[in-house]
Structure 1
Amino acid sequence: MAAIECVELTKMYEQRTALRDLSLTIERGQSFGLLGENGAGKSTFVRLLMGFIFPTSGQLQVLGKTKVAQAHTAIGYVHERTLFEPRISGRRYLVHLGRLAGVQGSVGLKHIDALLERVHLQDVAQRPVGSYSKGMQQRLAIAQALLTDPELLILDEPTSGLDPRSQWEIRQLIQGLRQEGKTILLCSHYLTEVEALCDTIGILRRGHMILSGAVSDLVSSKNVVEITIAEQLDARETLVRLEVPMQAILDTHGNTCKVRGESQAEILEKLVLAHVPLLSLQPLNQSLEEVYVQATEQADAAAIAQPAPVASGGK
């Protein structure tokens, strides 16, 4: 049973479609990164998962529950803009929320102390939350999300607005939870963060899922090959002499050239027949940022190419 499964999920607000025909499966134990610009539909999707709003059409299951509110006790949620009562201490905040969630008694208090230690707040646990830095408050929010030892964690922009040190600390926490086998849904604008922390991703664009898949597969599909020849040879001069088509050559530097993947076999044949010594040949990966830009540009081009709907009605 998947952690999250939706089929043709659609959410409309009056005349605006926030999410359209989204079909997606996130397996248990998977770390999934949800990408998209502001207004792409990420927040709408998270609200649907939490049961704060309801779909216009389509099917949604969270941890096997079609009534997603029934899964709340197994979900830890960190909101994009977490709010705290600034006058109470971090420990008292967790104790109060723990009681509401059924985490109480001596066992509950030990669990809370362990969480404070895990997020490195044990030394400031008695201080008012209002005196915490933003990074400390975000770590407290993660501790709160872990109160019931949830199976699914939904993290909405957990490092947004933090300084580099605080971002690193939050990412270390997330990495640890990932290694424990928690299912994680991470919404983030930081593509390098998603690339490092997620197994799979989905890119939303104007309410549509335009690309999804394993991170390892997506970043290895650049279709560019780097060829290094003998050090005493100039790659560009060598390729020109062998009459390699210029459109197949992407870049050259010294004895190294980058060529299109589809031209690799032809170029290698020319080099081998000319007895040009080859030192290395390797496919190049692309960054997740390159994947994102390419996918959104293609989606925008496809949208422009579509003919406008023909209006119906009277003359």
Structure 2
Amino acid sequence: MVAIELDGLTKRYGDVLAVDGLDLTVEEGEIFGFLGPNGAGKSTTIDILLDFVRPTSGTATVLGLDAQEESLAVRRRIGVLPDAYHVYDRLTGRQHLDFVVDSKDIGDEVDIDGVLERVSIREAADRKAGDYSKGMRQRLVLAMALLGDPDLLILDEPSTGLDPNGARQMREIIEAENDRGTTVFFSSHVMEQVEAICDRVAIINRGQLVAVDSIDGLRGQTQTMTTLTIDVGDADADDAAALQNRIYVTNATLDGDRMQVSMTRDGSKFEVLQALDERGVEIRDFSIDESSLEDLFAEYTTERQEVKQ
């Protein structure tokens, strides 16, 4: 089943092409990261999914419903944490949640205190939101998104204003919701969080999709390097030099008992280890330093590659 489907989605503001023929499918049950540099079209795409903005052409389907023609039905089945959210200073946290319960008509299904507890603001629930810190406001809007056990969560920069503990809790809540069966679609500049929890990610640049895959899949499509650091015994410079005869090894150096081998993505760490073993080199330990999502993001958005699906 498909949670989100974009078909030729395009949005133009005068001479500015914010979203340019975007085709994208998010399967039900995925945690899906939606990435791109500032101005890439991420927020515009999310605004179209929520029917805050109408597309110039193309279609957006959410949970099998037309995002524009059936927007009310869509909103009853999703939870949203927008990037540019607004809370009402004179209303308490609990009153914010009561409003969502009434608007979605889900009063008999909701444990408001339980949701407030999950996001760690239950003790502040009856204080006015105007007295909340930025992090507490972020938690409040997340609580509003979680009400009613949504089938889909759309989160735009969910960790904004949160300290490291809050960001970790946010990740745990996302994972728990996904375990419950909720599809999660979120945009974030916190690459470590995206890399830690996403099944797949899409990268857009200048309104176009340039890559969509798992993190490992993205690594396999780039020229980024893997560095293998090996704690060795009985090795010499000839052992390091011998590795450089392999087509996927770009460099191999030995410094005391530490050997560092740089490989392209076509390389295999197991072949390197086997080659050293065959030369009689003692392998005590090894570690792998692969390209981070931040590295991949920079490569894709700098080169502005076209997506291959």
- Relative to the length of structure 1, the TM-score reads 0.82
Identify the residue that residue 104 of structure 2 maps to in structure 1.
101
How far apart, in 1, do the equivalents of 2:272 and 2:92 lie? 67
Q: 3-12 or 114-123, which moves further after superposition? A: 114-123
Cα 1:32–1:68 shift into 2, 3 Å: farther
How far apart, in 2, do the equivalents of 1:230 and 1:282 lie? 12
Q: How many residues are aligned here?
A: 296
Q: Say whether the 8 Å CA contact 1:175–1:197 is kept in structure 2.
A: yes
Identify the residue that residue 277 of structure 1 maps to in structure 2.
281
Identify the residue that residue 233 of structure 2 maps to in structure 1.
231
Identify the residue that residue 294 of structure 1 maps to in structure 2.
299
How far apart, in 1, do the equivalents of 2:164 and 2:21 lie? 37
CA deviation after TM superposition for structure 1 residue 215, in Å = 2.4
| Aligned counterparts, 1:3-152, within 5 A | 3-66=3-66, 67-69=69-71, 70-104=73-107, 107=108, 111-152=111-152
Match of 2:7, SS state, is strand
Identify the residue that residue 164 of structure 1 maps to in structure 2.
164
Identify the residue that residue 249 of structure 1 maps to in structure 2.
250
How far apart, in 1, do the equivalents of 2:178 and 2:271 lie? 43
Uncovered stretches (5+) of structure 1, i.e. residues with no partner:
303-315
Over aligned residues, Cα RMSD in angstroms?
3.0
- Larger Cα Rg: Structure 1 or Structure 2? 1
Uncovered stretches (5+) of structure 2, i.e. residues with no partner:
none
Q: 78-87 or 17-26, which moves further after superposition? A: 78-87
1:231-271 deviation digits (Å, cap 9, x = unpaired): 1323x443337874899433534342313245769978975
How far apart, in 2, do the equivalents of 1:224 and 1:157 lie? 29
Q: Say whether the 8 Å CA contact 1:220–1:284 is kept in structure 2.
A: no
How far apart, in 2, do the equivalents of 1:245 and 1:199 lie? 33
- Relative to the length of structure 2, the TM-score reads 0.84
Match of 1:166, SS state, is helix
Q: Say whether the 8 Å CA contact 1:33–1:201 is kept in structure 2.
A: yes
CA deviation after TM superposition for structure 1 residue 90, in Å = 1.0
* 2:261 equivalent to 1:258: yes
1:155-177 deviation digits (Å, cap 9, x = unpaired): 01111233323322322222221
Identity rate, percent = 33
1:88-115 deviation digits (Å, cap 9, x = unpaired): 21112211331222133xx35x621221
